[in-house]
Amino acid sequence: MLDAAAYRAGVVRPRANGYFGNGTVPQLDNPDIYAILPYARAKGLSAADVKCRQALNAAGANVWHEHVGVSDGSLSNHVALNLPDVRYMNAEARRDADLAEAAQAQLLMVDAYLGQCRPE
């Protein structure tokens, strides 16, 4: 989620197309915990994707819009390139010593996605 070059220089900011949540949910307030919303570069970012990201940010989740030009073999890339009408979100969470904490963070992101990012 972090801009690696900026982080090495001591600056904490999201990478390109990344957006920090509002910081109100402690379980999600970590740059290693974020939702990935992929989209095909050729198609561009849709208004629905922006609305979903804004809702997830308001729910406390960090979000990265992954633009996909060529597949890296991941499911998110496959969906973005081959199933553009399918809504998809990947919930990334750092692996803590207590895996239940990571699972709780993922659950919070999935709940926010299901509640706020319905197809229009």
**Domain locations in the chain?**
16-116
Helices 99-116 & 47-58 angle (0-180, nearest 10): 130
- For 8-23, the pLDDT digits (tens) are 999 999 999 999 999 9
Its pTM stands at 0.90
Q: What is the pLDDT of residues 34-91, one digit of tens each?
A: 999 999 998 999 999 999 999 999 999 999 999 999 999 999 999 999 998 888 999 9
**Does residue 84 contact residue 23 with C-beta atoms inside 8 Å?**
no
